[in-house]
Amino acid sequence: MHFADRLIQRCHERNSRLVVGLDPHWDRIPASFKRGFAPDDYCGVISGFLTHVIDVTHEHAVAFKPQIAFFEQFGLAGMEALVKVLAHLRVRHCLVLMDGKRNDIGSTAAAYARAFFGQGDQPAGFPSDALTVNAYLGSDGIKPFLQSPNHGIFVLVKTSNPSSGEFQDMKFGSGASLAQTMAAAVRQWNEPTIGESGYGNVGAVIGATYPEHMAALRREMPCSLILVPGYGAQGGSAQAVKAAFNEDGLGALINSSRGILFPAEFEKTGFEAIREAACDAREDINRIVALRDL
């Protein structure tokens, strides 16, 4: 089924716009959970912790976003954990937005696309429904990711980190910034992919830490899904979250990672604290969306 249509359908089914980020910071995984494993059992700890997280949050989330770097840092053990986590997400029928920020020249971009989306009889090594990509190489680095309507991409447009403006806010002779120019490209790439929901498979990443940019970039890409990092632990604002949505109350996916995975109450109530954190995040986002109409 068309990727964006599936996501919008999931938003309706769960009354949610929440994406749970799976960023297994090793030092923040609770010591009480680690005690059940050998000290160097990175695969067991990471996959065990995250499968529990998925079990208690999937009813509140429209998708999950594994950040691949947190798995890659542990080499083969980390990648084995990722494979196990992806398998569990499939068992739970969850949508997977892989945060890999991949891209390269055409042939290499095609290999990245096969790694996450598969091709023909070749299954994906790390099966995902969507992938974050860096479009710095231009359109020939984007096209390999758009071969199937069942998969989507989220192009980096305006990221949430403090130094993003060093390049993304630079302006051309036309007066448009690099971020605005990238948003215009996203709109062009997205138009042929628009599904029955009114949204297409080429989305954008725009951080919640820059509300002054969000509204203008949303107007530039009315039919693109916007993946919004920076909500919660990174201090993203409600104003930016609100501006990411269209008038239909849809079109944006708000990611929360640390705020859900590592609640302060975990040592008291265990994974129930994570369930409550996900529920609270969903309700908070829905409240912000509702305020958009006032």
Q: Decide if 101 is catalytic.
A: yes
Q: In whole angstroms, how far apart are CA 156 and each of 72, 161, 184, 263?
A: 21, 12, 12, 28
Give the bridge partners for 161, in sequence order: none
Exactly one of 101, 143, 158, 242 is catalytic; name it.
Answer: 101
| Residues with catalytic roles | 101
